[in-house]
């Protein structure tokens, strides 16, 4: 579970059960991620976490990075694609095409975030119910 608390005007902090936290704010706000940036980071991060051992074992290196961006609809209120580019050194790899196939298969099968985005997960919103006032009959 992730808890999010307001810490200032347009500033929030998300915390997980392990004590890690990240600042969330409006797009362009200093020192924070926007919600869309967090979505993009989640897609790229999931791909990297999923493929890390597979790539580093076969490349013999320790360099792995990713770049991702949100491609939004014309209205700007919807993300329609999040292209993720993984970068790593192929100089020690005998068969780069085989590694590419393995990495794609692993991410497609095991990356929870990108799999969820492909399925268009729902995000039901629950709001507090109004409390009865003293003047209302029970």
Better-scored residue on pLDDT, 29 or 135: 29
Give the three-state DSSP class for 21.
strand
Backbone phi and psi for residue 59, each to the nearest 5 degrees, phi listed first: -90, -20
Mean pLDDT score, 80-104: 96
Copy the structure tokens of residue 53. 């051992």
Q: What residues are paired with 23 via a beta bridge?
A: 13
For residue 13, what pLDDT is reported?
98
For residue 133, what pLDDT is reported?
61
Cα–Cα nearest to 80, from 122, 34, 124, 118: 118
Rounded CA separation 40/22 (Å): 14
């Amino acid at each position: 579970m992730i808890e999010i608390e307001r810490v200032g005007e347009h500033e929030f902090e998300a915390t997980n059960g392990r004590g890690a936290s990240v600042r969330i704010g409006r797009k362009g706000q200093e020192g924070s991620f926007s919600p869309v940036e967090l979505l993009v980071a989640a897609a790229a991060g999931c791909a990297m976490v999923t493929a890390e051992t597979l790539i580093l074992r076969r490349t013999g290196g320790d360099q792995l990075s990713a770049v991702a961006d949100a491609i939004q609809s014309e209205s700007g209120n919807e993300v329609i694609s999040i292209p993720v580019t993984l970068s790593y050194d192929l100089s020690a790899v005998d068969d780069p095409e085989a590694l590419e196939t393995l990495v794609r298969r692993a991410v497609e099968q095991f990356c929870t975030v990108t799999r969820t985005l492909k399925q268009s997960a729902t995000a039901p919103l629950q709001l507090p119910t109004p409390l009865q006032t003293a003047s209302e009959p029970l």
